[in-house]
Structure 1
Amino acid sequence: MTSRGRHRRRKKGRVLRGALSGTALALTAAATIISTSQAAGSDNPGPLTSITSSSEVNKLQLHENLVNETTLDTLQSGMGGNVGVDTVLDSANHPMRNKADCDATESAALPVEPAATRAYCWDDGDAKTQKWLPQSVTTSGDADNDGKWGDDRVILAGWTHNDDKAGEPADDKGLARVAVIDANDPDNLTYRWVLLVAPVSGGQDFEAVRSRLGGMVWYQDKLIVTAKNGADHDSALYVFDMNRILQADVDSPEVGKVDGGWSARGYQYVMPAIGSYSLTGGACDASNDNGVPCFGSISLDRTSTPDSLVANEWFSSGGTEPARVWRYDFSTASDRAGLLGSDARDNVNADDAYETKAVGLQGVLSHKPSGASEADWYTGYDPGSRDRHGTLWRQSEGTAKAAKCGSGVAYACWGRHTESLSYWQETGELWTLTESAANPERVLYAVPLSAVAASVE
């Protein structure tokens, strides 16, 4: 099913502590190159090991919790109706710098090989702030087969508040925002921030979503993001509707309904959550891979049947704990556009679950080449140290190989502090972004997946 007819450009208008239940909605909620012997993450992790035990697969099960439509409609009506993605793009007020205009430290964060064919650096304030951390990326190439949302090419980048920064206001803890980037002109990218919120009081108010945004997938008209690792509640994923972007009309430090209208802590646009996916096994366990997993990142696989959401868990790059990677099928029902496939009890079961010995995973991508019998799983390793490049592994049940730095034996060639992965099928590009603000080193970049495959070979 295509969603193009539902998201043509318009000039005007158009939640969650643990599980959501009915209308009750709350939220608590060139560089240095190192050899394979110099970092644990560069040691060959070997092939993927399939997880077949039903008791182990059941630990990955989700339960779908959707917000009542009346609640969403009440909030929408109270805030003056929906605003289209195109309106957000038309009001973009932050320019991105092209690769040639990036600072030396920013360019040094790019991969050694394969080289980035497109790279962009953030507006000065976002490039250097310690208050926010870039974590994830998805694009209109995920949203639709033609690579566009209506007439627009769009990139979404998820940023999370840096809760480790000393002296930050308590109200800012866990805040999540999305940069909506106008990518129509590859030489002139601009963006606008949208704050993620959750409706409360039956849609009479909203509050801030507290989410890490380690991964994002924009599929059809839905945006699915990782929650706050599920460590303090059961939610693993939050769901948003790209057709439900609302506009605040009061500029104040508050979030929600205020005297005179609606405020979003200085942001002009908000996107309210329409649901969540909670872990049926309860709160996740980030200490080992024997319990309920904490979601590290997610991405979209359009080469599976049906299309699927791919996930990984994260453990420290300094450890040895093997991580799990797995997928959930998207629903093919016409009335469930962009939602995961669920059973009669609203449970979502995992498929194709594996264990990988690649540690410190910051992103995962599954892609089945034409004519291949199984998918390749790309896993990005971050060494966790400054001035160190990561490693991009390609794994399957039969082998594990890494992108190499030229003809030598060095494999730490990927970007520095690279986060989630996203494949733009229409252009053949693998998109990602780097996190660190040191020096600064934040870059949004693309590499042809064919170049990655060639480097691995």
Structure 2
Amino acid sequence: MKQRGRHRRRRRGQALRATLTGTALALTAAATLISTSQATGANSPGGLTPLRTGASSQLSLHENLASRDALDTLSGNMGGNVGVDGVLRDADRPMRNTADCSADERAALPVEPTATRAYCWGDDDARTSGWQPRSVTTSGDAEDDGTWGTHRVILAGWTHRDGRAAAPDRDEGLARIAVVDATDPDALRYRWVLLVAPRAGGKDFTAVHAGLGGMVWYQDKLIVTADHGEGLLVFDLHRLLRTDVDSGAVGRVGHGYSAAGYRYVLPAIGSYDLEGGSCARDRAVPCIGSLSLDRTTAPDSLVATEAADDRPERTRLWRYAFSTAAYRTGLLADAQGHVSAVEAWTTKGSGISGALSHRSAGDREAKWYIGRPSDSRSGHGSLWRQSTEGAEAATCTADRSHACWGLGTGSLSYWQQTGELWSLTGTAGHRVLYAVPLSSVDGSLG
């Protein structure tokens, strides 16, 4: 395993970009399926407005890290850490390439700009109504060179949301991660990992309830949104563990460990709680909706958005700086446990499903790419680029509407080495993991 840290290698950059970019998918026919009545986000959200002085204090977090002894105890009891490589060696589910996706799945992809890479899940995962894919992050976020060890990896976050009256309450909000081996872009495979939290001093664990509206893999840590946007949870990708009992229980079972049928678990190592209290009780405190990574700031930063709801007010967007201390890899802010937002804005754009901040060479300020869902469950969403100077949206050639983005898309992630913007769609029967060159996004705006 290579040393974790800030690698600045740029070798193979052009070859990697060429490998992952591929040939644009022949999906232009889907544009004819999008009618003007489905146009969404037609009203421009306008430019970003800096958050007023003092209001950013409502965005502050407090860090709470688990006992290292408890984490080590759990690892020792479960036979030691297997890490990402151990899970990838056991990847048991192939993803389907575009040609093997159904017509409904392909129709969920963006109309313009078209995706250059698209993959569909295994049949049962594609159809399940109980589990919903919501977020994506990659080894392009984790490391400067885009790889984790010798692999290119994609992580997709799924949350259990089942509206059936007979569904067990204990399952609501459970969270799992698809660990996808994307080293060979023509043969992706994945394995499920259940998110858990250690308890009883590391002698046991319990299932984690997490919304997973956003997820960022940075260095060796995975940061995700907690359930209902109540702060963030933190995981260490070195601490992936394997269970040895196959049962419906979660935690210690006799002399072994079970995880509701999942072979692998990832225990939380800490959390970031909103210092202002519960966002559900105090509307001044934002529930966190989506996350992404911005590598164009100094230091690198975690981008967060306010959760989508029906509030008439403006939506908040902000960022936290990652720590630069060598002993705090992948963690936020200072060692005293206080995390302040370093920048914050508001936007008139409502219902944000994903946001990405990126500053290209020569830009005076970062540009924000904002995904917004359709007003209709069957309609495509819209993708806007915003700055303090205004907003532009990707526009469909066929009808000049803005209903050009994916159907029910989740969070956004930028793979710096390939120049690709990654996202995923979440509606059962229409689920696709896909990539669009950021340059194509910029070219479609107007």
TM-score of the superposed pair, with normalisation by structure 1: 0.89
Task: Give secondary structure in 2 for the equivalent of 1:277.
Answer: strand
SS at 1:77 equivalent: helix
Aligned to 1:309: 302
Query: How much is the aligned-residue C-alpha RMSD, in angstroms?
Result: 1.7
| Secondary structure at the counterpart of residue 312 of structure 1 | strand
CA change 1:343–1:337 in 2 (3 A) is closer
| Aligned equivalents of 2:164, 2:366: Cα separation in 1 | 40
Where do 4+ consecutive residues of structure 1 move more than 6 Å? none
- Asked if structure 1 preserves the Cα contact closer than 8 Å seen for 2:40 and 2:373, the reply is no
Q: How does 1:288-437 map to 2 (within 5 A)?
A: 291-316=284-309, 320-342=312-334, 344=336, 346-406=337-397, 409-437=400-428
**CA gap 1:384/1:267 in 2 versus in 1, 3 angstroms:** farther
Unaligned runs of 5+ in 1: 8-29
Mapped to 2, the partners of 1:107 and 1:319 lie a distance apart of 33
SS at match of 1:361: coil
Supply the AA of the counterpart residue of 2:440: A
Alignment of 1:260-271 (within 5 A): 260-271=255-266
- Please tell me the residue identity of whatever aligns with 2:133: P
The answer (yes or no) to whether the contact 1:428–1:448 under 8 Å persists in 2 is: yes
The offset of 1:360, in angstroms, is 1.0
Residue 39 of structure 1, CA deviation: 5.6
Give the Cα–Cα distance (whole angstroms) in 2 for the partners of residues 409 and 39 of structure 1: 9
**Which secondary structure state, in structure 2, belongs to the residue aligned with residue 243 of structure 1?**
helix
From 265, 270, 274, give the equivalent of 2:269.
274
Cα deviation, residue 409, structure 1: 2.9
CA distance in 2 between counterparts of 1:42 and 1:51 reads 25
| Pair 1:160 & 2:159 matched | yes
Superposed, 1:54-73 pairs within 5 Å as 54=54, 56-73=55-72
Partner of 1:174, secondary structure, is coil
CA distance in 2, matches of 1:60, 1:99: 41
- CA separation in 2, counterparts of 1:39 and 1:285? 31
- Report the equivalent of 1:33: 34
Q: Is the 8 A contact 2:38 2:376 kept in 1?
A: no
Is the Cα–Cα contact under 8 Å of residues 137 and 156 in structure 1 kept in the other structure?
A: yes
Q: Distance in 2 between matches of 1:244 and 1:159?
A: 20
Residue of 233, 236, 243 corresponding to 2:231: 236
Alpha-carbon distance between aligned partners in 2 of 1:401 and 1:173, rounded to the nearest angstrom: 37
Unaligned stretches of 5+ residues in structure 2: 6-29
Per the alignment, residue 104 of structure 1 pairs with: 103
* Contact 2:243 2:263 survives alignment (8 Å): yes
Q: Deviations over 1:56-83 (max 9, x none)?
A: 1000000000001111111111111000
For residues 95-174 of structure 1, what are the structure 2 equivalents within 5 Å?
95-174=94-173
TM-aligned CA deviation for residue 384 of structure 1: 4.5
Q: CA shift at 1:166, angstroms?
A: 3.1
Per the alignment, do residues 373 and 418 of structure 1 end up closer, same or farther by CA in structure 2, a change over 3 Å counting? same
Offset at residue 404 of structure 1 (A):
1.3
Q: How many residues align?
A: 421
Q: Secondary structure at the match of 1:377?
A: strand
Aligned to 2:385, what secondary structure does the other structure show? strand
1:320 Cα deviation from its structure 2 partner:
3.8
Partner of 1:193: 192
**Does structure 1 retain, via aligned residues, the 8 Å contact 2:38–2:380?**
no
Alpha-carbon shift at residue 364 of structure 1 (Å): 0.5
Question: 2:35·2:399 contact (CA, 8 Å) conserved in 1?
Answer: no
1:77 maps onto 2:72 in alignment: no
8 Å Cα contact 1:4/1:144 also seen in 2: no
Percent identity, please. 59
